[in-house]
Amino acid sequence: MRLSRYILPTLKEDPSDAVVLSHRLMMRAGLIRKESAGMYVYLPLGWRVLRKIIDIVREEMDLAGALEFLMPELTAADLWKESGRWDTMGPEMFRIRDRNGLEYALAPTHEEAFTGAVRNIISSYRDLPVNVYQINTKFRDEIRPRFGVIRSKEFIMKDAYSFDMDEAGLESSYQAMRAAYRRVFERCGLDTIPVEADTGAMGGSNSEEFMVASEVGEETLLLCGGCGYKANREKAEYRRADGAGDGPKKDLTEVPTPDVKTIEDLTRFFKCEPDRFLKSIIYEADGRPVMAVVPGSREINEQKLARAAGAAQLDLAPDSVVEEVTGAPVGFAGPVTKKDLRIIYDISVKHVSNGITGANKKDVHFEGVNPGRDFIIKEEADVTCAEEGDPCPRCGASMYVKKGIEVGHIFKLGYKYTKAMDVAVLDENGAKVTPIMGCYGIGVNRTMAAVVEQHNDGKGIIWPASIAPFDAHLVGLGKSDEEIAAADEIYEMLLAEGIDVLYDDRKASPGIKFADADLVGIPVRLTVGKTYFQTGEVEVKLRSGGEVMKVSREGLAEKVSELLGQDPTMKA
Ligand code: ATP
Ligand code: MG
């Protein structure tokens, strides 16, 4: 491809609205342009990279035995009503009507659509197992689209859905996808960390997210240096240390605390550690009030709390509800109450002695609060977030925290959709069996951005060879007709040898050409300049670093292939 005929609008300056490195580099290297909030145009260079990632994903899915479909992105409301998700998907789902008033969703995901399609095709145990997938656009009305293509309103996802006769079958489909995911990311040059993720109602280690460690990641990972336990923050468990209490039990006493509300105010006022406080927060679980009680130093984990409460929807209760159920303004709630209120205690609360809590009275706290004596723990669960330094739930070693970008997610769905949507096949004895499902997603655009986050230097992107937009970047520096003809000839020769080459034949300074080559990050750079006109040797340099090599015209194509072959992503 001749750059003089190509569209590659590189930028010298960082766009002001790009806050993360991958977004800045993808804009500056001419891969994408913003269309509007959360929507991006892929320019030819960016689309080439995306297509290469798609090719790798497709190859690995096909190798794993998954079968590619092309599904409508417009999905009828009736399908979503069958699963019940028409009412629960919330504002993230784009909904539209056709001219006859029929309702549709622009699919944010395809569980219903695939289950609906497969239900009409499979009828016998002989048809299973089956794993179906597509690589297609998804639409999500994200509350805050951000970080360029990492969180956008429209993106390409590979989504696969497996249908098996039983749990053992599902386990083997899941493991096949897990292995395929590891290969996909490895081939894209990405180091990923598979972590245990929250499974909602499913429980167990039935869901994993593939994370790319990155400062800009929105996910928090808890990792154990001892046994290798890895989980995201929603899921991570931890072992309890004993409580913060001291000495013999004191009497329960009311203490006036005007304007002392936050945990910081309280630690100052009572001159003690935050763990002595029993933070009591009122939520609404499926509309019904519930109080969560946790040590003052810890953050409530709403996913864990929702699971413990058995609630599909969990929200902080409005002030009016707090006042109604505690009899006090916000800031003075506590578990020592005569009201009939559901209370879920974190499992560390029972270890606290001589704690401090709100007294359910304006401007009053209790001191000397003791579980068992002042309140009875009827319901307890792990409802706080694990934190840096917490003991690992498996081995007890101290855990550390990393930020991560989720690029893929695999999930044992169970019977949720097949039951709700009446999918059945006949087993060997002619009895009806409901198939069990798994679902598996990869964010293609987000994967591209994650690669840029991991592979760059001060000058620009450094593409892994497997997904680089071109194999080689040929820089022609000649000015005379003769020199230009010599570079043209090298270009033609490389093309004929099967090298995918971007040829910078623009009338621009060497400085501009080299800066663009570094920014765009194609793995091998070839320079036809002074050396070539004097000695017949092309200068060859890897974008990832190292010495300039001088290679004769005859050995050039072979050298480029050899260098590309040395990139680990070309061997995976
Ligand atoms: P997140 O927690 O980041 O919102 P999710 O859990 O909603 O992601 P899934 O429903 O598991 O995502 O979708 C599968 C994959 O699709 C994710 O692992 C991610 O790579 C990608 N993805 C999800 N939402 C977006 C988005 N708004 N923009 C780009 N990619 C996305
Ligand atoms: Mg997810």
Domains contained in the chain, CATH given = 15-236+401-453 (3.30.930.10), 253-381 (3.90.960.10), 463-570 (3.40.50.800)
Cα 473 to middle of ligand 1, angstroms: 33
| Whether the CB of 151 sits within 6 Å of ligand 1 | yes
Give the confidence band of 140 by pLDDT, cuts at 50, 70, 90. very high
Q: Which of 54, 446, 447, 451 has most ligand 1 atoms within 8 Å of CB, for mutation?
A: 446
Q: Which of 93, 135, 216, 409 has most ligand 1 atoms within 8 Å of CB, for mutation?
A: 409
Atom of ligand 1 nearest to the CA of 442: 15
| Whether the CB of 460 sits within 6 Å of ligand 1 | no
Which among 23, 407, 73 has a CA at the least distance from the CA of 211? 407
Percentage of the residues of the chain whose pLDDT score is greater than 90:
86
**Can you give the pLDDT at residue 379?**
95
Cβ neighbours, 10 Å, residue 158: 25
Name the residue at shortest CA distance from atom 1 of ligand 1.
406
Tell me whether strands 94-97 and 103-106 are parallel, antiparallel or unpaired: antiparallel
Query: Please, which residues have CB within 8 angstroms of residue 377's CB and are 6 or more apart in sequence?
Result: 345, 349, 350, 371
Give the confidence band of 204 by pLDDT, cuts at 50, 70, 90. very low
Cα 176 to middle of ligand 1, angstroms: 21
Would you call 429 exposed, middle or buried from its count of C-beta atoms within 10 A (0-12, 13-18, 19+)?
Answer: exposed
One DSSP character per residue, 506-565 reads SS--HHHHHHHHHHHT-SEEEEESHHHHHHSEEEEEETT----EEEEGGGHHHHHHHHHH
Give the confidence band of 568 by pLDDT, cuts at 50, 70, 90. very high
Give the confidence band of 199 by pLDDT, cuts at 50, 70, 90. confident
pLDDT at 205 over 60: no
| Whether the CB of 486 sits within 6 Å of ligand 1 | no
Name the residue at shortest CA distance from atom 27 of ligand 1.
151
**Can you give the pLDDT at residue 203?**
47
Mean predicted confidence (pLDDT) in 142-162? 97
Name the residue at shortest CA distance from atom 19 of ligand 1.
443
Q: Are 167 and 443 in contact (CB under 8 A)?
A: no
Give the confidence band of 116 by pLDDT, cuts at 50, 70, 90. very high
Lowest mean pLDDT across 116-125, 167-176, 385-394, 552-561: 385-394
Cα 207 to middle of ligand 2, angstroms: 9
**For the segment 44-100, what is each residue's pLDDT rounded down to a tens digit?**
999 999 999 999 999 999 999 999 999 999 999 999 999 999 999 999 999 999 999
pLDDT at 245 over 90: no
- Residue 397 per-residue DSSP state: P
Q: Compute the distance between CA of residue 14 and CA of residue 519 in angstroms, rounded to an integer.
A: 12
**For the segment 267-283, what is each residue's pLDDT rounded down to a tens digit?**
889 988 888 899 999 99
What is the pTM (predicted TM-score) of this model?
A: 0.89
